[in-house]
Amino acid sequence: METTLIIVKPDAVQRGLVGRIVCRFEEKGLQLVGMKFMQIPMATAERHYAPHKEKPFYPGLVSFMTASPVVVMALRGVGAIGICRNLMGATFGSKAAAGTIRGDFGVSNAFNLIHGSDSPEAAAKELGLFFRQGEIVDWTRMGEGWIYDLSSGTPE
């Protein structure tokens, strides 16, 4: 099982898309193990986007991410990172396929609605930025056997 970070960005929050976006992940079968509504502190945004610090879009990105509240989620599932990235769609809404979050709700290349970790290493780092110890909850879903084939003893 992988756990990944998803951020429903300020544009999606302002447009009232939070519920519809959360639904996409839950309907796919991913398990919600952490969630909070928050205003990202400037220092956290700067750490989160540090790999882009030398790029021309960095100041605007940090400003955008701290301008309005976001929803951060920890989602868990087999292959959760890849599944989430497929559900999100291409980075730019204008190029994202219909049926994806960005393809269905976005047209902007700057405001792209959602962030998702791109690797297990990034997920671990990002989850640590946005969730404190104990805020990600291990719990058993009663319907797990209807999401994954558990006949071999491990989820498939």
Catalytic residues: 115
Q: Which two tokens stand for residue 142?
A: 């009663």
Alpha carbons 105 and 119: distance in angstroms, whole number: 24
Query: Are residues 25 and 75 in contact, defined by beta-carbon separation less than 8 angstroms?
Result: yes
Residue 91 carries which DSSP code?
A: S
Helices (H), 5-95: 10-14, 18-28, 42-48, 58-65, 80-88
Dihedral (Cα; 123, 78, 152, 147), 10-degree rounding: 140
